[in-house]
Amino acid sequence: MSLLEFFEWLGNTAWSVALLESIWVYPLVETTHVLTLCLFLGMIATLDLRLVGLTLRNVPVSEVAGRLLPWAFVGFALMVVSGVLLFYSHPVRAFENVFFRIKMVMLVLAGLNAFIFHTTVYRRVTEWDRSPVTPVKARLAGYFSLMLWTTVVVSGRMQAYNWFN
Amino acid sequence: MIFLPFFEWCGETAVGIAIRDSLWLFPVIECVHLLALAMLGGAVLVVDMRLLGLGLRRHPLAELAREAQPWLVGSLLVMLVTGVLLFTSETLRAYYSPPFWWKMRLLLLAMLFTFTVRRKVLRSDDASGQPLFGKLVAVVSLSLWFGVGFSGRWIAFY
């Protein structure tokens, strides 16, 4: 079975059809997906802006990360659950949409960027925790994160339009 | 009813017609509106969470609020400009959409509250003396902005 055939089968399951056609649930899931952006991206962007030196320059980086990232994770969990539900309601339409594919690639890249940041330069955060100007690698991670999450949001929004199918 | 002629006029402005006639203008403006939402939400949340004793709670409230303020005002301005642009491209749809009117009411309340009561509390650091009042302010602020975002999303549905 190809991936497309699997998604065709998935989109024809009773729960998928029910979700797509529901009057209240689908809009509620979509609203959750959009509004959780504030919690998830709001916290991530605050940390990124600290890394690039645009806000909270007097607050230790480890404190911004330690206090805000747990909330970002809560937001991320909600975004993934609502996002998977949205995908489940129309898998074929999403799969064939170029913006959806771009979004998935950007998601992976954003995750990779975060992983590299946390396993390299952030390991030595005690050395630069309190400095308003962070090391180049940390600043780069901040800029990459802001850029990648922006493209995730933009391609996610553009998924509503299927110009290139 | 008194708003209808005004809405019709807005829809016939050059900007409204240009956005309506363009394939990509509306989606692009939507994207900017959405990105500013994340920024505004973040700027509101960081401070309101602090009032509730969450997040950056070790940092002085007044200083945190001062750091968040330009991001809040900046992203709110972007949201207002892009919001007006989106509105001009579909004024009649907005006029007949109940969520649109809810959003406008809540937006007015949210801005009033943010730039009066909330601002005063954040500036005077009152919340440190009256933590319960600070918490109340945070809950009202979050509820109002949540209402704006929620009803905004539902303009698309009703």
**pLDDT digit string, tens, across residues A33-63:** 999 999 999 999 999 999 999 999 999 999 9
Of B31, B43, B153, nearest to A154 by CB-CB distance is: B31
A164: in domain: no
- Report the mean per-residue pLDDT for chain A: 93
The low-confidence residues of chain B, meaning pLDDT below 50, are none
Does the structure show a pLDDT above 90 at A64? yes
- Structural domain contains residue B158: no
With respect to residue A74, please indicate whether it lies within any of the assigned structural domains.
Answer: yes
Residue A163 belongs to a domain: no
Angstrom distance (rounded) from CA A43 to CA A58: 17
Domain with B19 in it: 4-153
Q: Check residue B59 and give its pLDDT.
A: 86
A60-A63-A66 Cα angle (round to 5): 150
Residue A8 lies in a domain: yes
CA distance linking residue A146 with residue A116, whole number of Å:
15
Q: Is A60 on the interface with B (CB under 8 A)?
A: no
**Beta carbons within 10 angstroms of residue A106's beta carbon:** 20
Please tell me the predicted confidence (pLDDT) of residue A161.
85
Per-residue confidence band for A99, with pLDDT thresholds at 50, 70 and 90: very high
Flag whether A137 is in a domain: yes
Over 70: is that where the pLDDT of A12 sits? Answer: yes
The length of chain A is 165
Q: What pLDDT is recorded for position A142?
A: 96
The total of structural domains in chain B comes to 1
Read off the pLDDT band of A164 (50, 70, 90).
Answer: low
Reduced to 3 states, what is the DSSP secondary structure of residue B87? Answer: helix
Length of chain B: 158
Could you tell me the pLDDT band of residue A1, with boundaries at 50, 70 and 90?
confident
Please tell me if residue A18 touches chain B, with a CB cutoff of 8 Å. no
ipTM over 0.85: yes
Domain that holds residue A119: 3-158
Note the Cα A143 to chain centre separation in Å. Answer: 15
Q: Is residue A11 part of a domain?
A: yes
> Does residue A165 fall inside a structural domain?
no
- Binary contact (A38, B154; C-beta < 8 A): no
Whether B47 maps to a domain, the answer reads: yes
- Number of domains observed in the structure of chain A: 1
Q: Considering CB atoms only, which of B27, B30, B41 is closest to A38?
A: B41
Query: Which residue from B minimizes the CA distance to A25?
Result: B157
